[in-house]
Each structure stands twice: as structure tokens, then as C-alpha cells.
Amino acid sequence: MVQAPLRTTVRGPTFIRLLARLTDVDVSPSRQALSDRLSQWLEWTHAIALSTALDGRPAAATPGVQTFGRAEEDECARVRSLLAAAIADDRDRSTSRQRGAEPVPAEEGNAEAVVDYEAFRKHYLAVQRRMQTATGHLRGRLRDILAQQSADMARLAEVDAALELALSPREHTLLGTVPALLGKHFERLRQTEEKTLADAQVAEDTPTATPGAWLDVFRKDMQSVLLAELDVRFQPVEGLLAALRTC
């Protein structure tokens, strides 16, 4: 009996592990060091800007102009909570379901309407845009405060700004592929349930799957991916907060 090869265990952030599981892709661990991978993402202009930020003399800090306190901590927590609530909002998901189901009539003999992925894709992209806008605003605000604390903190703020400018286009491109990956997961779940129900009908057995249950599974999976992406997008914000707490 031939056994299927075991998949490589994917290590890394929850976001990457979730996508690997949902897309059923066997991802081989990279043999390159992180610094080598980053160097492939940096254009020469970005490399110069980063080198200048690391080696140059930062602008003198202006003590007392803007201080870090509870207000900034609370604002970051508030924004993150609002984004998480938007991801978990049942009304958003039910609206997506209705819009997706309406345009496509059910086939003869099938009481379930055919659900279109397009509404889910648009919802995912809309939440992505909200996350990008909100985290970008927070990151810039915290960086401005950090730059006024000390010379070392000003240098760190410049490095963060250079990295954001250099890596944001690649980040945008990579994260932009997630809705397409989820679309494939959507179709796999639908087809698996259809096959299970069809096989049960042919065998005249009690179906092992509840009609439509796959859609609830997909919604939960999409929500998990969005929450994991929110964690990834907040990492620079959390890093700046950590730096400010030491001032």
C-alpha cells in the first residue's frame, strides 16, 4: 500500500501556518538567512536610505514637545479592538452571504442557492484596506513621538520610516494574494461537501455532512486568517510602543 508523503511542518507566525494549512501547500523551509531575504526586497535607493538612517546623525531631539503616555496606548488598543470587531461582525458576514447567494439561482433538484465567492473577496479586501490605513496612521504617529525622545530613539524612528517605505510595496503585493488563496479554499470546501452528499445519495445512506455546513466552516477560517493578518500588521506598532515604554 502506497502512503502519501508527510507534509513538512510549517513553522513561523500563525498567519503563515494558517495559510499553509488552508491552502494544502507543502512549504519547504527557506535556507536563506532573514538578512539575505530582506536584501532581495530592497532596491538600491531604499538600501541607501536605510544605510543613512543607521549610520547618519539623527536630528536633535526636542524634549517636551510631545510625550508618550496612556493616551497613545489606549488609542492603539482602541483601533485594534475596532478592527477585530469589524472582522468578527456577524452582520458583515451575513450581508456577504446574502449578496453572494442572490445572483446565482439554485440548480434543479438542489434547494441550496449557489454561493458566489466574490462577495467574500470584496469583504476581505475592504477589511485589509481598513487595517492598512489604521496601522499606517498609528505607526506614523508613534514614530513622530519617538523621534522627540532622544538621539537614539530618533535614529530608531528614521530606521522604521525607511523600512516602511522599502517593505510596504512588497507587503502589499504578498498580502494581496491572500483573497485568491482563500477563494481556492472556498471551492475545495464546497466541492468536498457536494461530493459527500452525492455519494450518500447514490448509496442511499444518511449524509455525513449537513448541507451548507461548509459555508460556516469557511467563514470561521476567513475570520481566523483576518485576525492573524491583523496581528502581523500590528507588529511594527507594537515594536514602536515597546520602544516608547523604555523612554
Domain boundaries, the chain: 44-245
Confidence at residue 107, expressed as pLDDT on a 0 to 100 scale = 47
**Could you tell me the three cell numbers for 8?**
513538512
Contact 229/178 with Cβ under 8 angstroms?
yes
Q: Which amino acid appears at position 50 of this protein? A: L
Contact 12/19 with Cβ under 8 angstroms?
no
Q: Give SS3 for 98.
A: helix
Alpha-carbon gap, residue 123 to 212, rounded angstroms = 20
What is the residue-level pLDDT of the chain in tens, covering all 247 positions? 333 334 445 556 788 889 988 886 665 666 777 677 777 777 767 777 777 777 777 666 555 567 778 899 999 999 999 999 999 875 445 444 444 444 444 444 443 456 789 999 999 999 999 999 999 999 999 999 999 888 889 999 999 999 898 889 889 999 999 999 999 999 999 998 888 777 666 666 665 557 778 999 999 999 999 999 999 999 999 999 999 999 8
Confidence at residue 61, expressed as pLDDT on a 0 to 100 scale = 57
